[in-house]
Amino acid sequence: MRMHQLQIPQEWGMSQPASHGAVLCFGELSEEQKVELEHSQRQMKHREWEVNQLREKLSEMSSLVGEKDRALKAAAEELRGQEDMSNLEDEAHREAEDKALLREAPERMQLQLDQEKRLQQAAKRDKPGATKPLCSVKPRATEHVADAVTSGSS
């Protein structure tokens, strides 16, 4: 029955003065009960201290999690910025290539026109009714002209 009287205040979760008053309602305590009550009070104080320690650690951990979360968000933002920068660099590179192709386009068109002009001149010379130049063209020279026309060089 003694333990029952001491356990009641702990089970109700009463504070220290309230538990002492509840025990006194049951009458006078023997020395052994007083020692057990003091022991219970020391245990309760120790548990309160432990709970406070855990609260402090929980608060510290919560702060650390908050800091890590902010750092993670900052790193993610930085990464997005780097990706954006990389995309802009890629786009600038593509635009530079396009501009280079546009600058080269007239040169290529001129080369094609020159090549077509040479082909038409060669075709006119090779027509059956066309007049031959006074000096005869060696077969190797005509092959050289045909190779030059097909390769695009002059």
Per-residue model confidence as pLDDT tens digits over 95-154: 999 999 888 989 999 999 999 999 999 888 887 765 555 555 455 555 555 555 555 544
Specify the pLDDT at position 29. 83
Specify the pLDDT at position 2. 43
Residue for token pair 């406070």 = 52
Specify the pLDDT at position 5. 43
Specify the pLDDT at position 129. 64
- 30: pLDDT strictly greater than 80: yes
Specify the pLDDT at position 38. 94
DSSP 82-111: HHHHHHHHHHHHHHHHHHHHHHHHHHHHHH
Burial of 9 (0-12, 13-18, 19+ CB in 10 A): buried
Q: Where are the alpha helices (DSSP H) in 13-138?
A: 16-24, 31-125
Residue type for position 40 = S
User: What tokens were used for 15?
Assistant: 């504070």
Query: 36-74 pLDDT, tens per residue?
Result: 999 999 999 999 999 999 999 999 999 999 999 999 999
Angle among Cα 50, 68, 82 to the nearest 5 degrees reads 175
Euclidean distance between CA atoms 154 and 141, whole angstroms:
13
- 6: pLDDT strictly greater than 80: no
Specify the pLDDT at position 3. 45
Q: Are 29 and 37 in contact (CB under 8 A)?
A: yes
Euclidean distance between CA atoms 41 and 46, whole angstroms:
9
Q: Which residue would you say has higher pLDDT here, 32 or 145?
A: 32
